[in-house]
Amino acid sequence: MVKPAKPAPRKPAAKASNGGAKASQAKPPKVSEARAPAPVNLQVPPPKPGSQPSMRILGQYLKDLSFENPNAPQALAPQQNQPDINISVNVNARNLAPTDFEVELHLDAKATSEGKVVFASELLFAGVFRMENFPTNMLHAAVLIECPRMLFPFARQILADATRNGGFPPLMLDPIDFASMYQKRVQQQASATV
């Protein structure tokens, strides 16, 4: 007679190591839009009558990643105060073909404490999107709002992994309001042309 196997006793979960960095009561990062973005001139063929707009992701990829930990190992020791973390975000797009667009999401993160850089990271994540049957007046907003919104979770994970691999707690960004960024961009470009 075969006896059913007993499940192995569970071991208590190991405490996550963050390289000595203090993770409690973390200050929220300050998110800002990067330098004034260049105007984006997108062109698309006119939509076919009776066709619905469609958007597809043809590919996404990491174009550039940089992580600096200039004061290691001292920066990894427990600190009295949490560092100030500033995040800047920028979105750019360009035509690759009549209906294909490359959209780039730039994320720059810099943590400072007592005037010293704790860590600095720059990420350029991009995707190629096929936008078919979009009216011209909707295309610009779709490319600069919806496309980066689709890229963001992947870029966020890469940035979190980079900070964790640098010896710090993972930097988990809150969702970004790309619609608000787009509206500011339109206002800046309108005031620049006046």
Domains in the chain: ranges and CATH: 30-193 (3.10.420.10)
Q: Which residues pair with 146 in a beta bridge?
A: none
Contact of 125 with 147, CB cutoff 8 Å: no
pLDDT computed for residue 83 by the predictor: 86
pLDDT tens for the 194 residues of the chain, in order: 444 444 444 333 333 333 333 333 456 666 666 544 555 667 666 667 777 888 999 999 999 999 999 888 877 777 778 889 999 999 999 999 988 999 999 999 999 988 889 999 999 999 999 999 888 888 889 999 999 999 999 999 999 999 999 998 999 999 999 999 999 988 888 887 76
pLDDT computed for residue 41 by the predictor: 65
Q: What DSSP string runs through 48-73?
A: PTTPPPEEEEEEEEEEEEEEE-TTTT
Name the pTM for this structure.
0.74
Q: Which sign, positive or negative, has the C-alpha torsion 15, 18, 21, 23? A: negative
DSSP 3-state assignment of 119? strand
Cα–Cα dist 102/166, whole Å: 30
Cα–Cα dist 151/128, whole Å: 10
CA distances from 120 to 88, 112, 161, 162, 186 (A): 12, 9, 14, 10, 29
Residue 93, phi then psi, degrees to nearest 5: -145, 155
Cα–Cα dist 87/4, whole Å: 55
Q: In the Cβ-directed half-sphere of 148, how many Cα atoms lie within 13 Å?
A: 24
pLDDT computed for residue 155 by the predictor: 97
